[in-house]
Structure 1
Amino acid sequence: MHARILTYVDEVARQGSIRAAAEKLNVAASAISRQIKSLEDQLGSPIFNRQPRSVTLTAAGEILLVHIRETLREMNRTRALIEDLKGLRRGEVTVALMSGLSGNIVPRVTMQFRKANPKVLIRLQLMTTPDEMIAAVADGTVDLAIGFDFPPRPNVRQLAVAVAPLGLVVSTSHPFAGRSSVRLSECFDYTFVVADSTTVIRPHLEQILAQSGEGPSDFIETNSIEVMRHVVMAGDSVTFLTPFDIETDAAAGKLAFVPVQDLARETQRLVLLGPERNPTALGSVLAEYFKAAMN
């Protein structure tokens, strides 16, 4: 329906009178009456009960008015976003991220966005836990958050999800680097570099080891995915991460991802979060860059 008739119906319902609505909108009452009659003919049902000095909504009119007001609100929000987009060359946008993504998908997307919008300030904030990141999106501290395995929460919504397999990560000089796959039991002869209990990947590792009934004889523990990568690069130790975690290092020939036969079904969910309502224009545009990178 044309925006004009939506406005007419909304205002007549508010005023309870076609004449009063016409005065408020500075439109001829006959024009409003004609438009409403045309709409009623299209719908095959009256929208208003007409009395000599007033009108009231019919049952069909009440149903229609809910739709009209939702549409008008969405149109107003869209107009505001478009107006904001006109000023996209300046402003700032803030993204919360888990440390494992600081050297991979986030820098790549950031530079793509910056190339198109060089005067926009991008703030990247490392956060430790999913709960901290979800709260920051919900209260507007950040525009977006990207990380693994976010639990469902009110006031935020998932803008994009990519499922990533969990597998073995080794240096490219490691004996396993050229393998098409390995068994978990083969890995126990090497030092494990594992994430500690503050990280979202730790439950996956614990489940892996519990299912195997075995464990490494030697391990190094850290709360930093970046440290895990660098320790593995420095020797013949092994760790378990997703391809997203090692994207840049794999492209540079420093790390290799090797599927583990025992972990064929073990995955992590990379999730982009945004606010449930009223996203910023810059946040919405940057989200599209992340969505493209996650596909």
Structure 2
Amino acid sequence: MDLKQLKVFLEVADAAGFTKAADKLHIAQSALSISIRKLEDELGVVLFNRGKRKVSLTAEGEVLAAHAREILQGVVKAHQEIEDLRGLLKGEVRVGLTPMLSSFFFPKIISEFKRSHPGLQISITGESAWNIQRMVESGDIDMGIIVGAVPDELDSHHLVREEVIACVHPNHPLARARKHPLRTLLNQPLVHFKEGYHLREIIDDLARKEGITPLVMAESNLFSLIRSLVREELGLAFFLKMALTRDAEVAAVSCDPPLYLDLAIAWKKNARLSPANRAFLNFVIEEVDDYYQLREAAGTFPLP
């Protein structure tokens, strides 16, 4: 008995006839009949009740059919698991990160993931959250960090709710207090992200609602450059709080009332993630959850 015989046997059972099964398998009916007869001879039983118009399984045939389906399903599962293991030994993850995240804890996450999966290649695209969203939707990257509402075309996992804070030089007058009204912050000279970046759009929208036209001293898509310009006392910049952890060269000032952004990791809906991408997704979720549980325990992170 081999897998080919079992497949032929199940086709006859499902089609309830030799002719239909032969047509579906694209083989001669005589060859199919010989295969079934050999299987019956090998087992020493009759597997089908052969009628003039259709055939049906005997009791012995019913038993074999149940086992045959389990065997073939097991073979498919074995192939899939082997393929998944091979995918973790050699595969690629294409991920999109916003400038601040690529400069903060993602380098640690990526390096630790790479040590756990040395055979996988990591391709990182640094873009605005909006561009990352479009690239995931188009399939140019496998997954990425997006901000705010998740479109219907994507599946996602919410990662964090992070505070948006103002970043100023330690000698700046606003650095003397831990928080200031948003209107006060928006009236300062700003060092901004370029248009198209989600944080820039949020700040500009808040300014419009306040009737303020921000004085933009410089703009860039480089997080490290914007932070350096703040250190040079060119102006105030808005960042995610995580980006200024343990940075003694700048002062962090909260908005009053506080301002938050929701960040999620997203991938294309109804698309099967490769083993490499699934492993990376699970790793990111676990690492970020651990990080924020520690911050919550320390009382430095607000619950959503």
Q: TM-score scaled to structure 2, two decimals?
A: 0.63
Name the counterpart of 2:301: none
Query: Which of 279, 283, 295 is residue 277 of structure 2 equivalent to?
Result: 283
Distance 1:31 1:172 in 2: 89
Query: Which of 211, 230, 248 is residue 253 of structure 1 equivalent to?
Result: 248
Q: Check conservation: 1:85, 1:282, Cα contact below 8 A.
A: no
5 Å-filtered alignment, 1:73-222, equals: 80=80, 83-86=83-86, 88-128=88-128, 130=130, 132-149=131-148, 151-154=150-153, 156-172=154-170, 174-177=172-175, 179-187=177-185, 190-217=188-215, 219-222=217-220
Q: Check conservation: 2:100, 2:240, Cα contact below 8 A.
A: no
Name the counterpart of 1:273: 266
- The number of residue pairs the alignment matches comes to 248
Distance 2:222 2:163 in 1: 19
Name the counterpart of 2:297: none
1:228-283 Cα deviation digits (max 9, x unpaired): 22212332621112224x1xx42343444332114x3x432212112322111111
Distance 2:134 2:186 in 1: 39
Query: What fraction of aligned residue pairs are identical, expressed as a percent?
Result: 18
Alpha-carbon deviation of 1:290? 1.6
Which amino acid counterpart does residue 256 of structure 2 have in structure 1? Answer: Q
Distance 1:77 1:231 in 2: 56
Alpha-carbon deviation of 1:77? 7.6
Alpha-carbon deviation of 1:215? 4.7
Name the counterpart of 1:235: 233
Alpha-carbon deviation of 1:213? 3.0
Distance 2:227 2:162 in 1: 17
Q: Check conservation: 1:190, 1:236, Cα contact below 8 A.
A: no
Once superposed, what is the RMSD of the aligned Cα atoms?
4.2
Q: Taking structure 1 as reference, are residues 212 and 128 closer, same or farther at Cα in structure 2, changes over 3 Å only?
A: closer
Which amino acid counterpart does residue 146 of structure 1 have in structure 2? Answer: I
1:44-92 Cα deviation digits (max 9, x unpaired): xxxxxxxx9456xxxxxxxxxxxx9xxx7xx958962563235524433
Q: Check conservation: 2:96, 2:145, Cα contact below 8 A.
A: yes
Q: Check conservation: 1:81, 1:280, Cα contact below 8 A.
A: no
1:180-230 Cα deviation digits (max 9, x unpaired): 322224435642112232212222112221233345556333344343222
Gaps of 5+ in 2: 1-6, 22-34, 57-68, 290-304
1:18-50 Cα deviation digits (max 9, x unpaired): 9x8x95xx79799999xxxxxxxxxxxxxxxxx
SS in 1 for 2:245: helix
- Please tell me whether Structure 1 or Structure 2 has the larger radius of gyration of its CA atoms: 2
Distance 2:82 2:14 in 1: 28
Q: Check conservation: 1:101, 1:147, Cα contact below 8 A.
A: no
Which amino acid counterpart does residue 149 of structure 1 have in structure 2? Answer: G
Alpha-carbon deviation of 1:102? 1.9
Distance 2:167 2:46 in 1: 71
Alpha-carbon deviation of 1:166? 2.1
Q: Taking structure 1 as reference, are residues 89 and 268 closer, same or farther at Cα in structure 2, changes over 3 Å only?
A: same
Which amino acid counterpart does residue 285 of structure 2 have in structure 1? Answer: K
103-112 or 170-179: bigger deviation: 170-179
Alpha-carbon deviation of 1:96? 1.8
Q: Check conservation: 2:158, 2:262, Cα contact below 8 A.
A: no
Distance 2:12 2:84 in 1: 31
